[in-house]
Amino acid sequence: MNDASHGKTRFRVGGMDCASCATKIENAVSRLPGITEVGISVSAGTMIVTHQGAVPSAAISKQVKALGYSVAEVGAARTAAPTAHVHEHGPNCSHDHAGHHHASHDHAGHDHGDHSGHDHGAATASVAGAGHDHFDLDDGPWWKSRKAKLTIACGAALVAAYAIGQLLPQIGHWAFLAALAVGLVPVARRAYAGAISGTPFSIETLMTIAAVGAVFIGATEEATMVVLLFLIGELLEGVAARRARASIRGLADLVPKTALVEESGATREIAADALQVGAIMLVRPGDRVAADGVIIDGSSTLDEAPVTGESVPKSKTTGDDVFAGTINTDAVLRVRVTAAAADNTIARVIKLVEEAQESKAPTERFIDRFSRYYTPAVLVVGALVAILPPLVAGGSWEEWIYKGLAILLIGCPCALVISTPAAIAAGLSAGARRGLLLKGGAVFEGMRRVTMVALDKTGTLTEGKPKVTDIIGVGHSETKVLSLAAALETGSSHPLALAILGRAKVDGVPIPPANAAKAIAGKGVTANVGGEEVFLASPGAAEEMAGLSAEQNARIAAFNADGKTVSVLLVDGKVAGILAMRDEPRADAIAALARLKDDGIATVMLTGDNETTAKAIGKGLGINVRAGLMPDDKQRIVRELQKQGQIVAKVGDGINDAPALAAADFGVAMGGGTDVALETADAAILHGRVSDIPDMIALSKSVMGNIAQNITIALGLKAVFLVTTIMGITGLWPAILADTGATVLVTANAMRLLAWRGR
């Protein structure tokens, strides 16, 4: 509902590196009048603000900059984007489902949504906040960032103070105090800004209290070291966040900046983002494809590894789709552009990943709520440890205040708060590089529990287009039969005609010209080829015109039993050959279904196709089949499976499968990344590999395992140091090392997921 009274606006935020940064910004912005919801993605560096009336840009900018970040508005956010706190399961599908299972994939008329506001390139955050110590690490190398300069300055001041302390001991204390001020003043400023904008219990607050307290009990040197360690921890966090961002932005770099366009018989170079739908691109060997399109002339091998992760280059020819970012290796191709820059496969991947990062996982929401109570509780525990032993048991005030301050530092919730979003961001990025898109943390958390995968047949388990599987010559060679059949079908766009022409092209068969070609309704196509009357007929029409032998009828019946469509070639009224065609299973379908079975996940095929064809394909794949289904039948079967206690993932093409995709626990759209498929489902498999389904479930398990490890690291280190501090074994330095160390360990552990490649 993006009307005048209610809108969503996307902002880029610079210098936001950790979950506590996001919490501070969220609290500050959500307090503004007219703001109903704030969704933040640390790893994408974005914020989506839902507001009533016009967006209060100036007020938002003022609040965010006061906290020490840069901010820039980048336009209206898509209303389809999941917000920070809501995971809507399956939209209400208003698609037309009356059509047969072989729904056409013509999306030219689809509205692609408002993408104008999205920036898929480098961060556009203004550096208005550059005067603060938070700075957008994406702008230039990390060591030139404000944060790095502050850390280096604090480190240099500490070294200088140590040297002064050795040479002039009488002023050593003041030298350390000056060094402390270098690091602590910016931190205290941020603590104050956070406190007045709704985040009184931030990590900066704990840090400031602990450092000031340490000065009062004469531990100035330790306080300075603690602040330096804290700044190093923040810097490392920033570098890690930058890596996660770069891995997604790296996708944008796959698309070349320029393209060669044909206009009025001449070619000229234009900016890739200026390519219009329908433009004709020239792609030379060695060039990257600048936009999604369809080949209109030429055949070549394309290296799709950068986009799909597929190591073997693919041969493509006229009529085949090509993706932006893939590399043409062999010959010149002429390609008609089918998607503008903002709508190409890679732009949509980036957009979906960013939207997914803005939607929080249930674990993340729980930890956010937990840390809201946890941080004040840490302050109370620290105060009690400092006050009670001296008051009740006559302990030393200095010793117990020191221990209380150490507990404040141990209690910093940074590592805990970042444990989930860091892993999910890395998982989303790793998946996106393989063409696996999961729309948010809730999908990651649930996908690992799937017990049943229901798959569509056409375009999911099969290629979605028929191929010639068998050619039988009767008194003619197979080559001659194919040549004559291709002559009749030249110029036709019927799927079976394209199958015959495709086979002729692959086999290098010459196609002679056909004269006086005409279609005879319900019977076939006839024409004069090289002086002979040639007719490509249905078996019924061939029987009627020429008669078929018992052996020929038996062959046709066997083909039909295998789910194949049969055409009979007649030359001058006599049977000359038989061609059988079928939509064949994808190359990896058998292995992928076996992997699901090995993982204890059941499978079923739900198809609108006829029983004979479906059973023949199902038998070859070893999968149970439910055939002849309408869209509402598929939805009903999904609901029945759920009633039996199954967690169902429905995989389909996203158009005639939309009701079932919405009804399933997880809807997964298959292949090509069509608009409807990407919008309807909870997840999408862009590159049409059946093996990506078990990979997606495996990725979900890897991410959730990583989150469990992260939470264990964060809480385990705190528990150990809490005990050792109260026992007097460890002090302030180890306490901050425990917190910074936990944050760095958690982030580094999450970053391991970036190397995930699937099986």
pLDDT digits (tens, 9 = 90+) for 309-321: 555 677 888 888 8
Percentage of the chain modeled with pLDDT above 70: 85
| Pairing between β-strand 266-271 and β-strand 258-263 as defined by DSSP bridges | antiparallel
For residue 132, the model assigns a pLDDT of 32
Over the range 641-660, which residues count as b (16 or more CB within 10 Å of their CB) and which as e?
Answer: beeeebbbbbbbbbbbbbbb
For residue 241, the model assigns a pLDDT of 67
For residue 141, the model assigns a pLDDT of 77
For residue 312, the model assigns a pLDDT of 62
| Pairing between β-strand 35-41 and β-strand 70-76 as defined by DSSP bridges | unpaired
For residue 220, the model assigns a pLDDT of 87
**Angle separating helix axes 732-751 and 692-726, nearest 10 degrees:** 180
DSSP for 650-690, written as a single string: EEE-SSTTHHHHHHSSEEEEESTT-HHHHHHSSEEETT--T
Exposure of 341 by Cβ count < 10 A (0-12 exposed, 13-18 middle, 19+ buried)?
buried
Q: How many CB atoms lie within 10 A of CB 174?
A: 14
Q: How far apart are CA 174 and CA 178, in angstroms?
A: 6
Tokens 């389904």 locate to 693
Q: How far apart are CA 69 and CA 189, in angstroms?
A: 13
Contact 232, 740 (CB under 8 A): yes
Helix, strand, coil share (%) of the chain residues, nearest 5: 50, 20, 30
pLDDT digits (tens, 9 = 90+) for 373-427: 887 888 899 999 999 999 998 888 988 998 888 888 887 777 787 788 888 888 8
Q: How far apart are CA 136 and CA 204, in angstroms?
A: 19
Contact 283, 326 (CB under 8 A): no
For residue 120, the model assigns a pLDDT of 34
Listed in sequence order, the residues at least 6 apart from 391 whose beta carbon sits closer than 8 Å to its beta carbon are none
For residue 260, the model assigns a pLDDT of 94
Q: How many CB atoms lie within 10 A of CB 694?
A: 22
Active-site residue, selected from the candidate residues 133, 368, 456, 682: 456
Residues of the chain with pLDDT under 70: 1-5, 18-19, 43, 77-140, 240-241, 243-245, 247-249, 251, 305-312, 352, 354, 356-360, 654-656, 671-680
Contact 14, 136 (CB under 8 A): yes
Q: How far apart are CA 713 and CA 70, in angstroms?
A: 32
For residue 654, the model assigns a pLDDT of 56
Listed in sequence order, the residues at least 6 apart from 392 whose beta carbon sits closer than 8 Å to its beta carbon are none
Contact 691, 591 (CB under 8 A): yes
pLDDT digits (tens, 9 = 90+) for 699-710: 999 999 999 999
User: Can 456 be counted among the known catalytic residues?
Assistant: yes
User: What ranges in 144-219 are assigned the alpha helix state H?
Assistant: 146-167, 172-196, 203-216
For residue 95, the model assigns a pLDDT of 35
For residue 371, the model assigns a pLDDT of 73
DSSP for 132-154, written as a single string: SS---TTSS-GGGSHHHHHHHHH
> Of the candidates 200, 195, 226, which has an alpha carbon nearest to the alpha carbon of residue 213?
226
DSSP state of 462: B
Q: How many CB atoms lie within 10 A of CB 126?
A: 16
For residue 357, the model assigns a pLDDT of 64
The C-alpha angle 159, 162, 165, rounded to 5 degrees, equals 150
For residue 478, the model assigns a pLDDT of 95
pLDDT digits (tens, 9 = 90+) for 709-729: 999 998 898 889 888 988 888
List the 280-283 sheet strands across, edge first: 266-271, 258-263, 280-283, 333-337, 293-297, 321-322
